Structure 1
Amino acid sequence: MRSFVCSVAVAVVCLAGPHAAPAESPSSEDGFVKIFDGESLEGWKLAEENTDAWQVEEGKLVCRGERCHAFYVGPLAPMKDFHFKAEVMTTPGSNAGIYFHTKYQPSGWPKHGYECQVNVSHKDPKKTSSLYAVENVSADDLAANGIQDNQWYTQEIIVTGRRIQLIVNGKTMVDYTEPEDKQAFDKNFERRLGEGTIALQAHDPKSVCYFRNLRVKPL
């Protein structure tokens, strides 16, 4: 009897073995390409002003200092339709930004493309995941979704045709379709879709923000 029980047990283990772990599901990251290696600024070009505002620390891009923009100049640039993802963390009172469809410039605020705001508690009322000055997210919107300083959140930017989606931690904060006859933002800023690159913003010396796991999927 003992021999029979052991035989049955072995048979059960053998049958269960291949099914003990669920089949591996396709990766949600299929098609994404890293655009920051976590060790250097390879593939990025800093504006010529205040270049010490950007540092690479323990796998993170860190901005702390006077205004300076870091422009992606790697092999995926320029981009038209794409899906961008990054993990972002703000510190209290900090402001930064993620520009897209923009172009390199040596100084000043980027004149081309749109900005996805990075700001949880800075005095600017346009908060994280706002399409800056086009469709704005409020502090209440962030609080309702549990977005806080000193905590990592995932920011996604999706551009398809004339549609822009800005998503935080899986929650769509902005879904904007640019009118075909959209005029320039104002005389100083050409805020329209076309094609261009990603740029990260160091805003001011009191703002410290962190970026990691930056990746893009061309669409």
Structure 2
Amino acid sequence: MSCQNSPALKVKSLFNGTDFSGWEGDTLTIWRVEDKTIVGGSLNNTVAHNYFLCTIDTYDDFILKLKIKLTGDEGFINYGIQFRSRRMNDPDYEMVGYQADFGEAYWVSLYDESRRNKTLIAPDAVKVLEWVNSNDWNDYEIRAEGRRIRLFINGHQSVDYTEDDLNIPQYGLIGIQIHGGGKAQVYVKDITIQELK
């Protein structure tokens, strides 16, 4: 059997379009499913703090693809995709790990959430705005292969990062974040993953 036909390399959907099977988070007040789309946050009320909807399963090397849209114009409008991450115990709503960022001042950059608390690498701030569809759908892709991480938006590579800290775990949960401090909504659909080993 060739590698291309290996079951481990097949693309699978992470969201069935109808409910939160395979995911966990605050699905009573923050996260909901509308028209085969995951929706988080609110345009009427300020999001109190970061909220995450997470996969139940963990992943290490993969190609993750999804369509995203971020709307809102009051407060800090930001969203992120956690990967190779874990839930924190205190506070229990937060996560630790890599974040593929999307939003004000962080467009398609790589951030280290609740660990080093800094942007690890960011694209050219002017160029990336030419690639992003503001208040509309965007194709986001995360490639995590060994210690190398690449982010793509609408077919354009924004960052290429290699982790040199051997103590940083290279596996974990995938999560969708709505950032606290703004009246904003994030929309996510067509979430697929291709595991690379």
Q: Which residue of 1 aligns with 2:79?
A: 96
Equivalent position of 1:15 in the other structure: none
1:71 aligns with 2:54: yes
Selected match of 2:61 from 69, 73, 81: 81
User: CA separation in 1, counterparts of 2:139 and 2:106?
Assistant: 18
Within 5 Å, which residues of 2 pair with 1:1-219?
A: 31-46=10-25, 51-64=28-41, 65-66=47-48, 67-73=50-56, 77-93=57-73, 94-105=77-88, 107-111=92-96, 113-119=97-103, 122=104, 125-127=105-107, 129-132=108-111, 133-145=119-131, 147-179=132-164, 181=165, 192-204=168-180, 205-219=182-196
| % same residue | 27
RMSD: 2.0
Greater percentage in helix:
1
Stretches of structure 1 that go unaligned for 5 or more consecutive residues are 1-29, 184-191
Per the TM alignment, residue 51 of structure 1 is displaced from its structure 2 partner at its CA by: 4.8
CA contact (8 A) 2:100 2:109 kept: yes
Return 5+ residue gaps in structure 2 as ranges: 1-8, 42-46, 112-118
When residues 208 and 138 of structure 1 are mapped into structure 2, their CA distance, relative to the original with a 3 A threshold, is: farther
TM-score (norm 2): 0.78
SS of structure 1 residue aligned to 2:126: helix
In the alignment, is the contact (CA less than 8 A) between 1:162 and 1:193 conserved in 2? no
Q: Quick one: structure 1 residues 202 and 51, their matched pair in 2 at CA, closer, same or farther if it must change by over 3 Å?
A: farther
Give, in angstroms, the shift of residue 56 of structure 1. 0.7
Larger CA Rg, structure 1 vs 2: 1
Report which structure shows greater RCO (CA 8 Å, sep ≥6).
2
**Higher strand proportion (structure 1 or 2):** 2
